[in-house]
Structure 1
Amino acid sequence: MSQTATGLRVLVVDDERPALDELSWLLARDARVGEVLTCDSATEALRLLREHEVDAVFLDVSMPGLTGLEMAQVLARFKIPPPVVFVTAHEQHAVEAFELRAVDYVLKPVREERLAEAVRRVVEGGGSAAAAAREQIPVERAGVTRFISRADISHVEAQGDYARLHTAAGSHLVRTPLSTLEAEWAGAGFVRIHRSLLVSVAHIDQVRMEGGRCTVVVAGRDLAVSRRHTRELRDLLTRRTS
């Protein structure tokens, strides 16, 4: 990170001057931000980044010439990519943004408390956009993209090339195979208990053994554990409680 002595150095990129000025002003009010650089085009921003290191880029999506999404693709090829926060009036690009490992996706009009949350994610991400992005999962319902916290997901059910994420508030279908989520979320405490089920260890309330069969109670539901995964699950839970 290239923090100044007084806080983060951030770059704001937006082709609309009122939006650029407002976002810069709000960021400057945050005690964690020490310096705010501004550009009104992605091309200019890339030139500036050759001369200055920054701790985060707050980036509009829809801009003439090089768009924000295209600029993020260029930044991803940097040796040390800066964390990217998209700030936009358009909800429909959220999935693309998180596929590019954005730290956050803030909708206009920007509220100061919402922007403060984006800055927190930059700070706590330690400069790793990918790590921060994985905390929030974009899901679509009725044509609207929403975000759910991975910590709220109790279990995941395979549905062909899709996966259904279960939370206390409902379920959401995502276009990601269960095997991919298993590999990406292993470090976050998700384990495979069946060829079609992935569970969050933090959400397991009970483990039951009856007649040689193992089941776990997750969010009030009994989920069967395959024989293949029973020993692995029991060993994992034993290590966590020892």
Structure 2
Amino acid sequence: MALVVLAVDDEPPALDELVYLLGRQSEVSGIRQAADATSALRELSESRFDAIFLDINMPGLSGIELAGVLTNYASPPAVVFVTAHDDKAVDAFEVGAVDYLLKPLREERLAQAISRVVAARDTGDRPATTPAADPDEVIPVELSGVTSLIRRDSISWVEAVGDYARLHSDTGSHLVRIPLSTLATRWSEQGFQRVHRSYLVALPMVTGLRTRGSSTVVCVRANGASDAVELPVSRRQMRELKDLLIRDPMRHIRTGGDQGDPRG
């Protein structure tokens, strides 16, 4: 079954372009349009839509705020943001967006978003609105103007870079505009542990602890790499890290030699 979509943008030329490009997608059978969030809510109350393609910066209710309202719907449409601003991606995915497109809109990139909408509809899957509760959370990363989605379970460790964080995953390293402290809080229930003020590690990727003189490092298996990386462990985090590793009966920490014993 083809998609019925709602396009929302307060700038007429941008809205016309979005409607035109959506009309070129074979999966789209119907398109309605709205010039602001209030009009969009009126459309949503009168008709059912499979997806809403939504600008972020609009007068009155913003696109992010409108998406937040949609989370209260029993069967909300998939949300795809279409915006000229690249600094709202994290906010967008926190309200359950399926995709995040940057203007000027490219037809091939729009086709990818349509494919994601179709996949979400066919599987009955909708992104969680509470990221910490979603075991398959994806993180939007920007590279050369293209937004890609990195699955959290592909990330081995995270490094603080000022107010940013660098994600080390099986697709490489990616810089995102979100503090390490925020990720540590959001992902604490998903197997990530703060081991140092500058590092967050995925516990399933930990292969051991190693003593380096008076300090200790944690060995983390990097996805796609044969060798583990060694990251410093602060004294403040040492006991909690050991306790977590011991409590997990599925974890196998190598001991002996110059490897530290997690039982302390």
TM-score (norm: length of structure 1)? 0.70
The one-letter code of the counterpart of 1:199 is A
User: Within the alignment, does 1:122 sit opposite 2:117 as a pair?
Assistant: yes
Letter in 1 for 2:78: P
Contact 1:56 1:83 in 2 (8 A): yes
User: Does 2:170 match 1:166?
Assistant: no
Contact 2:140 2:148 in 1 (8 A): yes
Displacement of 1:50: 1.0
What amino acid maps onto 1:182 in structure 2? S
SS at match of 2:31: strand
Q: CA deviation at 1:149?
A: 1.4
Contact 1:216–1:222 (Cα < 8 Å) also in 2: yes
- 8 A contact 2:96–2:126 mirrored in 1: no
Q: Relative to structure 1, is the Cα distance of residues 45 and 227 closer, same or farther in structure 2, using a 3 angstrom cutoff?
A: closer
Structure-to-structure mapping, 1:124-143, within 5 angstroms: 124-125=119-120, 126-130=124-128, 134-137=137-140
> Quick check: 1:82–1:127 contact (8 Å CA) kept in 2?
no
Percentage of identical aligned residues: 38
Secondary structure at 2:188's aligned position in 1?
helix
2:250 to 221, 235, 238: 235
Shift of 1:45: 1.5
SS of structure 2 residue aligned to 1:222 = strand
- Distance of 1:235 and 1:163 partners within structure 2: 32
CA distance in 2, matches of 1:38, 1:53: 13
Q: Which of 133, 146, 153 is equivalent to 2:155?
A: 153
> Does 120-129 or 41-50 show the bigger shift?
120-129
Q: Deviations over 1:179-219 (max 9, x none)?
A: 32122xx2xxx454858743174xx4x835889x9954423
Q: Secondary structure at the match of 1:130?
A: coil
Q: Quick one: structure 1 residues 236 and 191, their matched pair in 2 at CA, closer, same or farther if it must change by over 3 Å?
A: farther
Letter in 2 for 1:122: V
Deviations 1:107-145 (A, max 9, x none): 1110011112222222233351337x8312468xxxx99
Structure 2: give runs of 5+ residues left out of the alignment: 132-136, 223-227, 253-264
The answer as to whether partners of 2:64 and 2:92 remain within 8 angstroms in 1 is yes
Partner residue, 1:181: 187
Is the 8 Å Cα contact of residues 5 and 52 (structure 2) preserved in structure 1?
A: yes
Alpha-carbon RMSD = 3.8
Q: Distance in 2 between matches of 1:33 and 1:145?
A: 23
Residue identity opposite 1:227 in structure 2: K
Structure 1: state its 5+ residue gaps.
1-5, 238-242
Count of paired positions: 219
Are 1:11 and 1:58, in contact at CA under 8 Å, matched by a contact in 2? yes
**In structure 1, C-alpha distance between the alignment counterparts of 2:63 and 2:175, rounded to whole Å:** 31
Structure with greater proportional helix content: 1
> Which whole-Å CA distance do the structure 2 matches of 1:181 and 1:191 have between them?
6
Q: In structure 2, do the counterparts of structure 1 residues 78 and 148 end up closer, same or farther at CA, with 3 Å as the change threshold?
A: closer
TM-score, normalised by the number of residues in structure 2 = 0.65
- Superposed CA deviations along residues 37-68 of structure 1, whole A, max 9, x for unmatched, are 22222222211111211111101123334332
Deviations 1:144-194 (A, max 9, x none): 9976613553213689xx8844323365572305132122xx2xxx45485
Instruction: Indicate the residue corresponding to 2:5 in structure 1.
Output: 10
Distance 1:36 1:194, change over 3 A: same
